[in-house]
Each structure stands twice: as structure tokens, then as C-alpha cells.
Amino acid sequence: MTATATKTPPPAAPRVGKPQTRRVRFTPAVVLLVIAAALILVSAVRAVTGANDVTSAGQIAGALSSAVPIGLAGLAGLWSERAGVVNIGLEGMMILGTFFGAWVGWQTNPWLAVLVGVLGGAAGGLVHAIVTVTFGVDHIIAGVAMNILATGVTAYLAKKLFTGGQAAEKGGTPKQSPPMDDIKHFTVPGLSHWLSTIEKHHWFLISDLAGIVGGFVTHISSLTLLAIVLFAGTFFVLWRTSFGLRLRSCGENPVAAESLGVNVYTYKYVAVIISGALAGLGGVFLAIQTHFYLAGQTGGRGYIGLAAMIFGNWRPGGLAMGAGLFGYADSLQLRNGGPSVHALLLLLAVLLLGMAIWKFLRGARIGAAVALAFAVLLSVWYLTTDTVPDEVVQATPYVATLLVMGLSAQRLRMPKADGVPYRKGEGG
């Protein structure tokens, strides 16, 4: 009987090809360093250009107000898509929130308006869930239909509810509700005044920091504070609880989730209804901010919220950054127009130059070339002009968002089953 010798496998050949790059881990220390570098850069741009409004408390407060409805729309999309349902209908759900919130708000008080606006958005979410989850209609088609339906329904109801009787006497029109009261705002006494004093000195970095912090403690809406709580709560619920784990499993692998006893339909319904409620809250925020409902008030913020969600890689932290970016650019063009936007050209040029260097070092030559080309173009534009046309000023938020999203180095990963039709028992 001969013994067969066991052969040891030959050593694996070294892998030849493109070297793998180490992925940067965003630890708290790294995040703090990035924030510090960004603050120094913005301070330097402010000092060079003389555009003192870029870091003023008013600019930051305006950025918060612009970012909140976008952030809430993005948060709504995050809940829905983490459960595997694409929600293009966020714009329509925001419209429902603006209308029903304003309808109740002018007759009662703003907090009741918030409640009814949230319920209006949730009703839109329920319709979307029935159509997509129960009947299996394509998510994109259902979302577009929701936007059209919400626009038509609110236009019809506005003509009926805002053009007669007491509503007409108080300023209601077919496209606008009567005005309603504002919601409570908060200012930290003492601290706000002290920071404002430091900001007025225009010291490098110190005054900029005072202006930024001052924007967070001066005349802040109750709904802004609520939105911050909702962002933190979303992260905790979806990533730190068993409920969140089950819900996310429905967006990753619903068949496997079903095999483990998860009622996939129920979790998808809950997620889409919560999505609609958050979108409705974003809509009613707009109505309270302007004190009335106005046709076309949402201005595409539902779609921008989805873009912010994608920019944030389907996570609350990145989503907040994307919403903040758009809100900052929007506030900049609203508050100071041409001069501040002209300063923004230099800031974007520097950021794109840094992005080009980083991409080049990571081996992304094409991305580096594109970023460098944009940096050169913006630098030439800044050096050869003193201001920018009004049309460019108005488009600044959208252009800034597209540039950052298009050249972002994030490795985006959507939920695997996002938008994929699901039927109970299909994996059996």
C-alpha cells in the first residue's frame, strides 16, 4: 500500500495590475482636520476678496433655512430607499405638506399646521406604498405620477378653499393662501451678542468662526432644531436598533429577510409612509417660512433632496453635508448676489485644484484633468471680472451642487434591492 504524499499548493503569484488605494477612514480626528482646513480656506478667501458676508451669522442662518427643507426631503428619500423603494414622488409629497399645512395654519396656529402638513405628506407616502409595494408598479413611474397628481389636486383645492369667504378677505387667491403666523424662534442670550461683536472686527479666522457659530445660535427656527433631532434620530434608529436592521435588510436582500421572519411588506410600508411624512414636514417648513402657501413653492427641492441623498451615499451625515452645500450657495446668492458669488468663484477654483491634485495622486487621471480644467476656467473668470451676471447668480446653487456631485470622489453604493420589485415567497 503506497502512501500518497500531500502536495502543498504553490505560492500565489503576485497580483499584477492597478495598485489598490487605501480608502480614507473618516474618523472624528480626520473630520475635525477637514473642518479646520475648510474654515482656514474660507477665511483666506474672505480676506482676499473682501466679501465679509461669506462667513457672517446672517449667511449661516440663511444657509440653515435653505438647507432644512432639502435635508428633510433627502432624509425622506433615505428612509424609503433603505427599504428598497425609490421615491421620486418626494416633490409631490412636499407640495401636499405645503398646501395642507398652510390651509390649517392660517385658520389656527403654526404647530397644528406642522401636524397636518406631516399627515398630508404621509398620505402621499401611503398612496405611493400601495401603488409600488402592493401592486408592483414601477417606482419611477409611480413617483412621477405622484408629483403630477399632487400638483393638480392642490391647484384645484386652492381655487376652492382660498378664493371665497373669509379666506378671500384675508388675502387668499387661486395660487396663494392667506398669511399665517410664524413659528417660535430661539436665540441664545448673551452668546449671540458677544459673537456678533467679534464678527464685526473681521479678524482672520477668529471672526469667521464667530460668524459661523453665531449663525447657529441666533434666531433659529423651532423646525430647524426639530430637523437636527430627526437627522440624529434617523441614524440611531436605522443603524443602532433591530428595527433599523430589519428595515435596511428589506432594501438589501428582501428574500433573505423574509426567510428570517421579517414581514417585508410591513417594513416597506412603514418606511415609505415615514418618507412621505418627512417630505411633508419639509414642505410645511417652506410654507411657515414664507407665511403662506404659494403655487410652485417647492421649486424642485424634492429632486434636489434626492441628489443630496445620493451625494451623501445614502447616509444621514453625508446627506446633511449635501443639503448644507446647496443651502449655503442658495443663501449666498439671495443675501448678497453678485459680490459674494464672485468670491465663491475663487473658493470653488481652489477646491477644484485640491480635488485635481488628490485625484491625480490616486491615479484618476481623467477626473484630475476635468477638475483642473474647471479650476483654471473659474480662476480666469474671477481674475477677469468684478462681478457675475444675475442669471449666473440665480443658478449658483444648482451649478455648485452639480460640480461637487459630478467630481466627488465618493464610492457610492446604493442598497442592492433599491427599486427592485418584490413579491412575497418569490425566493422559495
Q: Which amino acid is at 230?
A: L
Q: Are 314 and 82 in contact (CB under 8 A)?
A: yes
- Grid cell at residue 73: 426631503
Listed in sequence order, the residues at least 6 apart from 418 whose beta carbon sits closer than 8 Å to its beta carbon are 81, 84, 85, 86, 251
Closest listed residue to residue 342, CA positions, set 330, 332, 353, 327: 332
Cell numbers for 407: 467630481
d(CA 16, CA 181): 67
Query: Residue 289: what pLDDT?
Result: 92
* Distance, CA of 302 to CA of 287 (rounded, Å): 15
At 410 the pLDDT is 52
pLDDT in tens, 77-112: 999 999 999 999 999 999 999 999 999 999 999 999
Q: Quote the CA–CA distance of 329 and 396 in Å, as a whole number.
A: 6
**pLDDT tens per residue, range 136-186:** 999 999 999 999 999 999 999 999 999 888 888 888 899 999 999 989 998
- Helical ranges in 336-364 per DSSP H: 338-361
Contact between residue 288 and residue 110 where contact means Cβ atoms under 8 Å apart: yes
Beta pairing partners, 294? 176
Estimate to the nearest angstrom the gap between the alpha carbon of 323 and the chain centroid.
Answer: 4
Amino acid, res. 317? G
Residues of the chain with pLDDT under 70: 1-27, 335-340, 393, 396-397, 400-411, 425-428
Whole-number average pLDDT of the chain = 86
Pinpoint the alpha helices (H) of 205-337.
Answer: 206-217, 222-240, 242-252, 254-259, 264-290, 301-311, 316-335
pLDDT of res. 333 = 72
Q: What grid cell was written down for 371? A: 477638475
Give the pLDDT confidence score for residue 411 in this predicted structure: 63
